[in-house]
Amino acid sequence: MPKNHSQTPSSSHDPFITLRVSKRAIVDILIGIVLVLSLTTLTLYERYSHSASSQQQGTVSAPAAPAAPVTSGAAEPAKPDRVQERASSARDTNQPLESRVDFSSPEAPAAAVPEPIRDSDLNVSQVSEASAPPVPVEVRSYFPEDGSQPVAFSPQPSAPAEDRGEVPARESPSMTASPAGPRRMGPALLHGAGATFPNPIYQRWFSEYHMQHPEVTIDYQSVGSGAGIRELQDGRIDFGASDGPLSDEQLSRTPFRLIHIPTVLGAVVLTYNLPGAPAGLRFPPDVLADIFLGKIRNWKDERIAIVNPGVTMPDKGITVVHRSDGSSTTFIFTDFLSKVSPEWLDTVKRGTAVNWPVGLGGKGDEGVVQTIRATEGSIGYVNFIFALANKLPSGSIRNSAGQFVTPSLESIEAAAASITNMPEDFRISITNPPGRDSYPIASYTWLLVPLQWPDANKKRAFVDFMNWMIVRGETMTDVLAYAPLPKRVAVLVREKIHDLR
């Protein structure tokens, strides 16, 4: 039978067609696999890129650790402007003032007599039993000595203080200055010396001022008022400092004219070593004078007991301890005794150094404290800030209003505020002042500034510093246990500084 050519064979029996279909399917599958792999790879890449970017951003925003300083075997000294910094060594006098002493360390047992913290070692970061709060350092506007516009610090007062007739109020400052920055002067290195009492605040001021004026360095040595006066009179330093005003005789021996610039207020306190006796023992002025005259020799004396009811006074002899070196602390104390005791005024008188009727001498406040701590039944006098730093008991002194007052910033400020007539030359004594709340042995401390300077740039720099001191420096006093100038006195001081230009 002939074949039927019209019959179409089934595709399932065509091997070529089957082969073509299989290849196409394989290609489709491979394409799909490639696409899936491509998408997976792209997704992984995007995730990796995002993670790397996040890590990089975190690294940039985190503060970098400070690099360790490179030293040559000796430790780099601490910067004196860090008021809260403490040091491990309490008596390395080669270290900056602020890093020498940690006042929070416990006192030594009574059996061992600890060496007192020295006047030159006082730590400006802490002077009371409670830790002083951090001192924010804000640079406020002050008025350049050349009469130009106030330096544009932030925040700026609404009007210059001179136009308002007052000194800007004390406020808590911060360390930010406006882009204008402080006005620059020519390089100047000034040397000063004198009183130990204001040394902590002076070191703080000179350090802060140098931070704002790197071209000006003020070096101050706390050698005592008497030594500072002599060095100034001999022309070895640019300015001096004293806790007592110079007498007419001292001024006449000075080969040039100088002025007194009051800076802060302080006080002299009575401290004692009397086991079992509380802090704040009461001392009437006449009793105090007779103790230092050697007329009252026993703690059980009726004149002491009668003003300290409830306190059992021991039957123990009194040992008087006083300064053996010339000191304005002695001047302040003897000035007070001269006002309250006619016998003292007639016999011993007032002075930076006197012929003491009785007692043991100690060099500096630290020498007085060392002797007192080693001698039961002793009594002596030291600066207020020194008593706080060494955690010494302070006596309560009866003032001219009949009130027993302990030394404090408030009672020291009250003493200054009670004196309304400030002499033009600022040489004033405020011991035994009026006022119910006044502490009776308070005093100003002064810078001794020549009227004529051989170096005009030095004079310009120091006048600018004093302007800064009155407006800015006075805001730092409380934390360091000093009392600031009364505002009305600060205004007068600004006028006097203006006359120096």
> Would you say 322 and 364 are in contact if contact means Cβ atoms under 8 Å apart?
no
Q: Give the helix/strand (H/E) hosting 189.
A: strand 188-194
> Would you say 373 and 273 are in contact if contact means Cβ atoms under 8 Å apart?
yes
The reply to whether 267-417 shares the fold of 133-264+448-499 is yes
Please give the Cα distance from 468 to 474 (Å, whole number).
Answer: 9
Least Cα distance to 118 among 461, 382, 495, 489 occurs for 382
Write down the pLDDT at residue 479: 85
- pLDDT band of 113, cuts 50, 70, 90: low
Least Cα distance to 133 among 174, 88, 83, 175 occurs for 83
Write down the pLDDT at residue 487: 94
Residue-wise pLDDT for 268-315, tens only, equals: 999 999 998 999 999 999 999 999 999 999 999 999 999 999 999 999
- Which residue type sits at 475? T
Residue 263 CB partners (closer than 8 Å, separation 6+):
198, 201, 202, 444, 445, 446, 447, 469, 473, 485
For residue 106, pLDDT over 50 is answered with no
When comparing pLDDT for 495 and 119, which is higher? Answer: 495
For residue 497, pLDDT over 80 is answered with yes
In the chain the first and final C-alpha atoms are separated, in Å, by: 142
3-class SS of residue 494:
helix
For residue 181, pLDDT over 50 is answered with no
Question: Cis peptide before 155, with omega less than 30 degrees from 0?
Answer: yes
For residue 411, pLDDT over 90 is answered with yes
Write down the pLDDT at residue 183: 54
> Would you say 215 and 186 are in contact if contact means Cβ atoms under 8 Å apart?
yes
Average of per-residue pLDDT across 379-408: 95
When comparing pLDDT for 149 and 416, which is higher? Answer: 416
Find the Cα–Cα–Cα–Cα dihedral 475, 478, 482, 487, rounded to 10°: 50
Average of per-residue pLDDT across 191-200: 92
- pLDDT band of 364, cuts 50, 70, 90: confident
Q: What stretches of 325-431 adopt beta strand conformation (E)?
A: 360-362, 378-383, 396-398, 404-405
Please give the Cα distance from 272 to 270 (Å, whole number).
Answer: 7
For residue 167, pLDDT over 90 is answered with no
Q: Give the helix/strand (H/E) hosting 344.
A: helix 342-347
Write down the pLDDT at residue 43: 66
Q: Which fold has domain 267-417?
A: D-Maltodextrin-Binding Protein; domain 2 (3.40.190)
Average of per-residue pLDDT across 15-36: 64
For residue 264, pLDDT over 80 is answered with yes
What is the dotted CATH code of the domain comprising 133-264+448-499?
A: 3.40.190.10
Beta bridge partners of 322: 361
Main-chain dihedrals φ then ψ at residue 206, nearest 5 degrees: -65, -35
For residue 201, pLDDT over 90 is answered with yes
Please give the Cα distance from 93 to 389 (Å, whole number).
Answer: 17
Beta bridge partners of 404: 398
Please give the Cα distance from 85 to 83 (Å, whole number).
Answer: 6
For residue 122, pLDDT over 80 is answered with no
For residue 452, pLDDT over 60 is answered with yes
- pLDDT band of 478, cuts 50, 70, 90: confident
Average of per-residue pLDDT across 163-175: 35
User: Which residue ranges make up each domain of the chain?
Assistant: 133-264+448-499, 267-417
User: Can you give the three-state secondary structure of 353-379, one letter per residue?
Assistant: CCCCCCCEEECHHHHHHHHHHHCCCEE
Asked which of 45-54, 217-226, 449-458 is least confident by mean pLDDT, the reply is 45-54
- pLDDT band of 333, cuts 50, 70, 90: very high
Please give the Cα distance from 358 to 379 (Å, whole number).
Answer: 12
> Would you say 260 and 425 are in contact if contact means Cβ atoms under 8 Å apart?
yes
For residue 262, pLDDT over 70 is answered with yes
